[in-house]
Structures are given as C-alpha cells and as structure tokens.
Amino acid sequence: MDGTDHAINAVGLECPEPLMILRNKVRGMAEGETVSVVATDPSTVRDFTNFCRFMGHELAESSKDGDRYRFIIRKRVKPAR
C-alpha cells in the first residue's frame, strides 16, 4: 500500500468513476491521511490534479508506470480557528 493510510484500485475504470471513488474516499478520511490510487484512465491525471487544487488537498505524488497511473493524495488539514 506504499505506506499510505488508504488505497484505491481504479484499474480498468473510466471517467468519471475513478474521480467519484476518490472523492468519496477522501470525504471519509481524517485530515492529513493519505490515499494511494492506481488507475489506467489517462484523464485521471487532469481530474486528480484539478480535484486537489480546487479542494485544497495535496497531490503528493503522480507518476506513470507503463499503462498505470499512480497517485498519492493527502487530505488537507483545515487551519485552526
């Protein structure tokens, strides 16, 4: 699991499924936890990058290995009020 707190296998799934699965998983995670994702849909690169930027999460890692895209995303930590 790459030392992450959670893992998603989205191999063979096409847009928008990987993004929806990621969104639901992150929603249930604690702040600062990480999730690794393996996907084969090239649109996940754009989708996950935009998701992290818009939602304030950290795209800690993004790489390609053959036909597999690998990501590690850290859920944002909300500043104390």
pLDDT in tens, the chain (81 residues): 479 999 999 999 999 999 999 999 999 999 999 999 999 999 999 999 999 999 999 999 999 999 999 999 999 998 888
Residue 30 in domain: yes
Q: How far is CA 6 from CA 33, 35, 66, 80, in A?
A: 8, 4, 23, 25
User: What is the predicted pLDDT for the residue at 79?
Assistant: 85
Number of H helices, E strands in the chain: 2, 4
Residue 13 in domain: yes
User: What is the predicted pLDDT for the residue at 81?
Assistant: 81
Predicted model pTM: 0.93
- Span 40-53, pLDDT tens digits: 999 999 999 999 99
Has 52 been annotated as catalytic?
no
Residue 45 in domain: no
Number of domains in the chain: 1
Domain of residue 4, residue span: 1-37+56-68
HSE value, Cβ hemisphere, 13 Å, CA-based, for 16: 4
From 7, 13, 15, 29, the catalytic residue: 15
Three-class SS of residue 36? Answer: strand
